[in-house]
Amino acid sequence: MAKRSIGKIAVLSVCFAVMAFSIHGMFGANMAKKKNDIDQFLHHATCYYAISLMPFLGFSKQKSERPDSSLQFTSTDISLARKLDSNDKLRSFRDKFVITDPNTIYLDGNSLGRLPKSTIKYMQNVIEKEWGEQVTRRHMGSRRERVNAKLAQLVGAQPEEVLISDSTSVNFYKLVVAALQLKKDRTKIITADLNFPTDVYILEGIIKLLGNKHELVFIPSDDDITIKNEAIQSEIDEETALVTFSHVAYKSGFLYDMAKVNQWAHEKGALVLWDLSHSVGAVPIDLGDTKADLAVGCTYKYLNGGSGCPAFIYVRRDLQNDLENPIWGWLGAQDPFITPRYKASPGVKRFMVGSPPSLSIAALEPALDIHLEAGRDNLRKKSIHQAAYLIYLAEQWLFPLGFELGSPKNPEIRGSHVALKHPEAYRIYQAMTQSPPPAIKVIPDFRPPDNIRMSVVPLYTSYNEIYLAMKRIREIVEKNIYKQYSE
Ligand SMILES: Cc1ncc(COP(=O)(O)O)c(C=O)c1O
């Protein structure tokens, strides 16, 4: 409840108490025949008082349908971008990242996040001292535990439910096999057209490996942007072993309703596996509160761990000892060197396989600290605001040039990237990234057939950059610059 509401409740309560006290005082117990009237009056007054409190307690009749006015923009002048930057409470976080070229606008943080300055110093110490001078792995175990705990905090899980290891693809493989083994009597796997290719390929490979007993069902997207809740709910049935989606769809940025999907799956006894690669660090995630079963995700996009930084795996605590890692490596075993035969380690540790990439895990720690310092709700608020600004400029300047929105407009169902579609998207993308100086470079991602995908990363993207990027795209199309590039 907001502080202002608590204040209003306090004022109302004091007024009510003073009024009740005065009425009793004025008429006293000796005016017995009036007492009934007074009691009745006080009864009504109490009811009105309770009703007047309801809006402050969150019992409003209906949620306001009015659009959020802070997301309405009315100027395409650069002065607005500058003003938004100077009012931005997270502005100082940009200085924590290495940004060397003022003529390059980087909007690809959902592929590879920028390098935090603190990582350089931290890694210098790890490499020179721990590896160089001491030749030790002594700090690696405790650092891994700390990184697991910080990751867990970011995704709303317990530290003992999260493990950093391997790539997203390998972790996805381990969890799919484990889930299908646990739900042996069920044969349906549900995913979606919008899912990332590696997840689909791995599912297909596992189905083949397990003797083609499973049916892979794709929930279609009517608009290539979103998936309808009803389509998901009606597909999940008693045959369903596993439901698996990318929490934020890699192309359109569509954000699934994690709590609802978990609930529908659990009602039918199915498990859910989330790929959080495009949502971790980009939107608040509550694996614990939403009762998520399983998840994987990468750390080199919004989490700024650097290229090749290992992925993470999440397994809800009560499921851990029922699930079996299909890759029986020594570090997932209970007593390597003591027991000659494999016995799974208890807890999430059983999902480890071999030696973890300790240097990359070390590189993740300072980056996670920045995220935790900024606060995920602050980041989400700014991300929504910046994406709304980007969409506003696109509507004003780019839609008249043949662009369309390839992402949901509603921020409640969108992650932190925005896709713009254009029949000439590939050539426009080349012009954005390859035009020689003095033109500014704008680095988005291209996703076939026609998507230019741009992420806003509230830790380091500025409003000014969004402004300049949109203006540059307009210039590329208006002046036919893109026609110099091959189709
Ligand atoms: C949603 C999603 N899942 C999985 C992957 C693959 O991750 P990895 O290369 O770590 O296996 C990616 C890579 O970009 C991704 O975006």
pLDDT digits (tens, 9 = 90+) for 125-172: 999 999 999 888 788 889 999 999 999 999 999 999 999 999 999 999
Cβ neighbour number for residue 112 with a 10 Å cutoff = 16
Rounded to the nearest angstrom, the distance between the alpha carbon of 380 and the centre of ligand 1 is 22
CA–CA dist 432, 426 (Å, integer): 10
| Cβ burial, residue 198 (10 Å; 0-12/13-18/19+) | middle
Q: 199 near 172, Cβ under 8 Å? A: yes
Ligand 1 pocket, residue 166 CB under 6 Å? no
Q: Is the pLDDT of residue 430 over 80?
A: yes
Ligand 1 pocket, residue 167 CB under 6 Å? yes
pLDDT of residue 317: 98
Q: Which two tokens stand for residue 118?
A: 């603190």
Cβ neighbour number for residue 315 with a 10 Å cutoff = 30
Strand residues in 130-281 grouped as ranges (E): 162-164, 188-192, 215-219, 240-246, 271-275
Q: Which residue has the higher pLDDT, 10 or 390?
A: 390
Confidence category of residue 17, pLDDT binned at 50, 70, 90:
low
pLDDT of residue 68: 82
Q: 395 near 473, Cβ under 8 Å? A: no
Which residue's alpha carbon is nearest to atom 4 within ligand 1? 168
Is 41 among the residues known to form the active site? no
Calculate helix-pair angle for 78-87, 376-393, nearest 10 degrees. Answer: 180
Q: Which two tokens stand for residue 446?
A: 């291209």
- What is the tens place of the pLDDT at every residue in 49-88? 544 444 444 433 333 445 688 889 999 999 999 999 999 9
Q: For residue 21, how many C-alpha atoms fall within 13 Å in the half-sphere facing its CB?
A: 6
Strands of 162-164's sheet, edge to edge?
162-164, 312-315, 294-297, 271-275, 240-246, 188-192, 215-219
Is 453 among the residues known to form the active site? yes
Helix (H) or strand (E) holding 264: helix 258-267
Is 275 among the residues known to form the active site? yes
Considering the chain, what percentage of its residues have pLDDT values greater than 90?
83
Q: Of these residues, 97, 172, 173, 196, which one is catalytic?
A: 196
Ligand 1 pocket, residue 311 CB under 6 Å? yes
pLDDT of residue 54: 46
DSSP annotation of 257 reads -
Rounded to the nearest angstrom, the distance between the alpha carbon of 305 and the centre of ligand 1 is 14
Range in 42-56, 213-227, 428-442, 450-464 the model is least confident about: 42-56
Rounded to the nearest angstrom, the distance between the alpha carbon of 218 and the centre of ligand 1 is 19
Rounded to the nearest angstrom, the distance between the alpha carbon of 298 and the centre of ligand 1 is 7
User: Which residue, chain included where needed, has tokens 């614990």?
Assistant: 288
Q: For residue 302, how many C-alpha atoms fall within 13 Å in the half-sphere facing its CB?
A: 30
Torsion 469-474-476-479 (CA) sign: negative
Single-letter code of the amino acid located at 456: V
For every residue of 309-373, DSSP letters joined together read: ---EEEE-GGGGGG---SS--GGGBSSTTT-SS--BPSGGGGG--S---HHHHHHHHHHHHHHHH
Average pLDDT of 86-111? 97
pLDDT of residue 140: 85
Average pLDDT for the chain: 90
Atom of ligand 1 nearest to the CA of 111: 14
Q: For residue 338, how many C-alpha atoms fall within 13 Å in the half-sphere facing its CB?
A: 6
CA–CA dist 221, 219 (Å, integer): 7
pLDDT of residue 136: 80
Considering the chain, what percentage of its residues have pLDDT values greater than 70?
86
Confidence category of residue 273, pLDDT binned at 50, 70, 90:
very high
Q: Which two tokens stand for residue 445?
A: 């991602």
Q: Of these residues, 97, 245, 256, 300, which one is catalytic?
A: 300
- The pTM for the full model equals 0.86
Which residue's alpha carbon is nearest to atom 8 within ligand 1? 168
Ligand 1 pocket, residue 108 CB under 6 Å? no
pLDDT of residue 37: 53
pLDDT of residue 66: 58
Q: Is the pLDDT of residue 429 over 70?
A: yes
Cβ partners under 8 Å of residue 70, min gap 6: 385
pLDDT of residue 164: 97
Q: Is the pLDDT of residue 35 over 60?
A: no
Rounded to the nearest angstrom, the distance between the alpha carbon of 278 and the centre of ligand 1 is 9
Q: Tell me if the bond preceding 438 is cis, omega within 30° of 0.
A: yes
Q: Is the pLDDT of residue 260 over 50?
A: yes
Q: Which two tokens stand for residue 148?
A: 């697991």
Helix (H) or strand (E) holding 443: strand 441-443
